[in-house]
Amino acid sequence: MEYTTATFATALYNTLPAVTFILALIFKLERLKLRSIRSVGKVVGTAVTVGGAMVMTLVKGPVLNLFWTKEPSAQNTAGTDIHNSIKGAIFVTIGCFSYACFHILQAITLKIYPAELSLTALICLMGTIEGAIVALVMERGNLSAWTIGWDMKLLTVSYSGIVCSALGYYIGGVVMRTNGPMFVTAFKTLCMIAVAIMSSIIFSEQMYLGRVLDAAVICAGLYLEIWVKTKDYENPFTPQTEEESTQPKLKLIRNGKDSADHEVITFSKQCEKKRTVVETA
């Protein structure tokens, strides 16, 4: 944040669903057929969600005078030079791409290790170790950086670790197993809507008409993606064992209706016939 503005960083971070969707296509976690309505819905829903989030960050519009908000105060903000802006853009791009790769890696891991709770514990453990190493390097000799008292700092650390990391990764992993990483990252844009509403109520910040309209656009894009997922019966994220993949499909006997009982009876009869032929031979 020292090298760029908060608006630019937030706008660039909102490209996370699009980057995740492209990576999911590369690693064959998502299927895209341009002649399919569901595939077109995925593309349109992602584009509408990302576009709405970008416009919500960059465009404000007229001020909505709500009774709990206060008048905007005049602030003198110093602009950043071109070198710091380029450096900040590179850092934010690397962070966004790394976060998208994390969701792709989590989705691939869940296919071979379908244990969301254990995976979340391992992720939090590795994050703790890596964070401790970075803190030791950056805050060497500063013992006050490690002290936590009964204040807002303790609440912030506890909420970030329990809710944002532990519950967030676990719930995201459960949803990711059935709907894929693109579906999870699409909901990241709702953070802007939640922050705008809570900032307006708690901190009495100004609410703008452009943000309200863009929030509606984001919700419309998310609804389109949810509708596409409900219509997408082919689920490539369900883990498949080798026995299921090598076992031949059985034909159903059609006597006016299809039933799993007919399937079992047919399979058992075929096994009995093969066993009789082997014994006679």
- Here the tokens at position 73 are 């105060």
- State yes or no: pLDDT of 78 exceeds 50: no
Phi-psi region of 79 (alpha: psi -120 to 50; beta: other; left: phi over 0): beta
What's the pLDDT at 126?
94
Residues 194 and 221 in one domain: yes
Residues 100 and 186 in one domain: yes
Q: Which amino acid is at 69?
A: T
Residues 267 and 206 in one domain: no
What's the pLDDT at 28?
85
Higher pLDDT, 94 or 66: 94
According to DSSP, the residues that pair with 63 across neighbouring strands are 208
Residues 261 and 196 in one domain: no
Residues 51 and 95 in one domain: yes
Decide if 250 contacts 263 (C-beta within 8 A): yes
Residues 253 and 226 in one domain: no
Q: Which residue reads 């699009």 in tokens?
A: 18
Choose among 244, 235, 241, 265: nearest CA to 175. Answer: 235
Answer whether residue 69 is part of any domain.
yes
Chain segment 149-205, per-residue pLDDT in tens: 888 888 988 999 999 899 999 999 999 888 888 888 888 878 777 877 887 888 777
Beta-strand (E) ranges in 59-217?
63-64, 207-208
Chain segment 106-128, per-residue pLDDT in tens: 999 999 998 999 999 999 999 99
Q: Which amino acid is at 134?
A: V
Angstrom CA distances, 6 to 3, 144, 150, stand at 10, 28, 30
Domain count for the chain: 2
| Average pLDDT taken over every residue of the chain | 75
Q: Which residues, at least 6 apart from 130, have a Cβ–Cβ distance to it below 8 Å?
A: none
Q: Which of the residue ranges 89-98, 120-129, 205-214 has the most confident prediction, judged by mean pLDDT?
A: 120-129
Choose among 224, 236, 235, 232: nearest CA to 50. Answer: 224
Answer whether residue 67 is part of any domain.
yes
Answer whether residue 155 is part of any domain.
no
Choose among 82, 84, 88: nearest CA to 13. Answer: 88
Answer whether residue 10 is part of any domain.
yes
Q: What is the pTM of this model?
A: 0.69
What's the pLDDT at 149?
81
What's the pLDDT at 246?
43
What share of the chain has pLDDT > 90, as a percent?
Answer: 17
What's the pLDDT at 265?
53
In 114-152, which positions are buried (b, 16+ CB within 10 angstroms) versus exposed (e)?
A: eebeebbeebbeeeeeeeeeeeeeeeeeeeeeeeeeeee
Q: Which amino acid is at 22?
A: I
Higher pLDDT, 142 or 94: 94
Residues 86 and 50 in one domain: yes
Answer whether residue 142 is part of any domain.
no
Residues 22 and 103 in one domain: yes
Decide if 48 contacts 83 (C-beta within 8 A): no
What's the pLDDT at 102?
93
Out of 69-73, 215-219, 246-250, 266-270, least confident range = 246-250
Answer whether residue 168 is part of any domain.
no
Answer whether residue 57 is part of any domain.
yes
H-helix or E-strand spanning residue 64: strand 63-64
Whole-number Å distance between alpha carbons of 58 and 66: 21
Answer whether residue 163 is part of any domain.
no
Residues 191 and 105 in one domain: yes
- pLDDT band at 67, cuts 50/70/90? low
What's the pLDDT at 75?
47
Q: Where in the sequence is the domain holding 82, given as residue range(s)?
A: 6-116+181-231
What's the pLDDT at 8?
66
- State yes or no: pLDDT of 238 exceeds 50: no
